Chains A and B, each alone.
Chain A
Amino acid sequence: MQPGMNSKDMSIIRMNCELYDQIVQYAKEHLPEESCGLIAGAIEGDSKTIKKVYFLENVDHAEDHFTLDPKEQLMAVKDMRANGYKPIGNWHSHPSSPSRPSVEDIKLAYDKDASYMILSFLTAAPVFHSFHIENGAYEKEDLRVFNEEYYF
């Protein structure tokens, strides 16, 4: 975290486990390639609630790199607007590395307002974290996956 960075880390990002399960399922189906998409939802003050996950083509079709398709990105942005959702960020998978931004992830994080979510399959159980990336530094965000009864 850079000194003076306007941290967004105090905000809470809530994600229903059904959406999380969708990401895990989709990413598993696309192994060994990285998979990717966008995240949208409601933003109220410091609270963000994910309402919809978008599954976009990784135009790189690579195991160690991803690029969102701009055409699909545009369609997703329009869909968000039509549904009254705000863009919250993006997600991608790391098939064999940890759930933390890589050097390339940090270098290519141009949108300081976005949350960058990473699903790792390094371990038997997938690990999913969200990060704020700005000025070459990153910080883990308070992402809470929940069902109607509890957070985990």
Chain B
Amino acid sequence: MIITVAGEKKEYKEGLSLVELIELEKIDMPEYVTVSINDDFVSSEDKETTVLKEGDSVEFLYFMGGGC
């Protein structure tokens, strides 16, 4: 199936899970990454169980914050 990852169309196996995609995309420190699928943010609880489907568009956003 074709999914779009960070704006780039890629082919992955059917039934790919979000956890598998994070591994395949070599996302560093995924616990600090916010994931959106088709502009909807995936909650931390749902990250483990989310399965991707044809045509999904996935974005990985690092948490950005700090203090002074």
From the candidates B33, B39, B64, name the one contacting A67 in the complex (CB within 8 A).
B64
Contact with A along B35-58 (1 / 0, CB 8 A): 010010100000000000000000
CB-based contact A66/B67 at 8 Å: yes
Number of residues from B at the complex interface, CB < 8 A: 18
Q: Give the residue name and chain of the B residue nearest to A76 (CB).
A: B61
- On whether the beta carbons of B62 and A110 are closer than 8 Å, the reply is yes
Residues of A within 8 A of B62 (CB): 110-111, 114
Query: Cα distance A95–B34 when bound, in Å?
Result: 28
A18: Cβ under 8 A from any B Cβ: no
Contact status A65-B28, CB under 8 Å: no
Is A68 a contact partner of B64 (Cβ separation < 8 A)?
A: yes
Q: Is the CB of A90 within 8 A of B61?
A: no
Chain A residues with CB under 8 Å of chain B are 34, 36, 38, 60, 63-68, 70-71, 73-74, 77, 81, 90, 92, 94-97, 101-105, 108-112, 114, 116
21 contacts between A and B (CB under 8 A): A34-B68, A64-B67, A65-B68, A66-B65, A66-B67, A67-B65, A68-B64, A68-B65, A73-B64, A77-B59, A81-B7, A92-B66, A97-B68, A104-B66, A105-B68, A108-B63, A108-B66, A110-B28, A110-B33, A110-B62, A114-B62
Sort A-B residue pairs by CB-CB distance and give the 4 closest, nearest first: A104-B67, A105-B66, A67-B65, A94-B68
Binding site for A on B (CB under 8 A): 7, 28-29, 32-34, 36, 39, 41, 59, 61-68
